Amino acid sequence: MPNLILCADDFAYSRGVSETIAELAALGKLNATSCMTLMPGWAEDAALLRDLPAHVSIGLHLTLTQERPLTDMPRLAPDGRLPEIDPLARRAARRNLPLDEIAAEIAAQFDAFTAAMGRAPDFVDGHQHSHALPGIRDIVLFETASRAPDAWLRDCTDRVDAMLARPFVGKAIGSAYHSRGLRRAAARYRLRCNDSFAGHYDFSSDYKTLFPRFLRRAAGMHLVMCHPGAGKRDGDSIAAARPREADALRRWSIADMAAAEGLAFPA
């Protein structure tokens, strides 16, 4: 039977986001969360994760967009702030990224995870899926294989029929396009990936209607991303969606919803 991994992204984005994710995980509504270790509140917020049930996977949400990096990056972040995802992706496509700076920043984010948690991450992914971009993915795979060889990587690809059965197929295909080849590359490092992936939407549509459709056409380890939270932070383009997602997850029996689609929800 396929397994559902319901992963809350953006832990440590803000205190409200972190507290909401920790609450939902403790309630059995999530079984994974991905952490932004470059955020100023990460070391303090990490304490919220230490008493969560053992089945909750805690991963590293490598962040190379929008935030302030941990390291000096004069070519990628000359003003002290990382670029938006679109210019980063364009530079990656042109093979015009300062990969030495990116390698140092990725290493620093791994170090920050280990310093706070006392262990390696259970999985590795990227904010806005930047971990899969050309050039960047090679660094991510090398660091993960070296530091967390038992971890799995987020792969945003899926079967075409599965993507067509879920909402916002255009977003799903876009993410899959940028992730093409990641699974094969990960296998060369003896790293695993999820088998199917969902959770794309516009952050304004009715989440209660959309979520059950994310569970369709699952295979093996079916990874669904979500972004619950509370409070507001300057520049948060999905601030209104975070509490809506959190409220919906609190109300639902995720295990029953998963079972209806033939999925086990380890929680």
Predicted confidence (pLDDT) per residue in 30-87, tens digit: 999 999 999 999 999 999 999 999 999 999 999 999 999 999 999 999 999 999 999 9
Q: How confident is the model at residue 266 (pLDDT cuts 50, 70, 90)?
A: confident
Sheet with 3-11: list strands edge to edge: 192-193, 152-153, 123-126, 57-62, 32-35, 3-11, 221-226, 196-198
* Rounded distance between C-alpha atoms, residue 241 and residue 228, angstroms: 8
Q: For residue 239, give both structure tokens.
A: 């601030």
Contact between 59 and 121 (Cβ < 8 Å): yes
Domains located in the chain, CATH noted = 3-260 (3.20.20.370)
* Rounded distance between C-alpha atoms, residue 33 and residue 26, angstroms: 12
Rg (CA), the chain: 17
Contact between 77 and 95 (Cβ < 8 Å): no
- Any residues with CB less than 8 A from the CB of 225 and at least 6 apart, and which? 7, 9, 197, 198, 199
Summarize the confidence of residues 115-138 as an average pLDDT: 98
* Rounded distance between C-alpha atoms, residue 98 and residue 80, angstroms: 15
Residue-wise pLDDT for 221-251, tens only, equals: 999 999 999 998 999 999 999 999 999 999 9
SS3 state at 207 = helix
Residue-wise pLDDT for 147-206, tens only, equals: 999 999 999 999 999 999 999 999 999 999 999 999 999 999 999 999 999 999 999 999
Contact between 200 and 171 (Cβ < 8 Å): yes
Percent of the chain surpassing pLDDT 90: 99
Tell me the H-state helices in 27-167: 42-45, 85-93, 99-117, 136-147, 160-164
Q: What is the pTM of this model?
A: 0.97
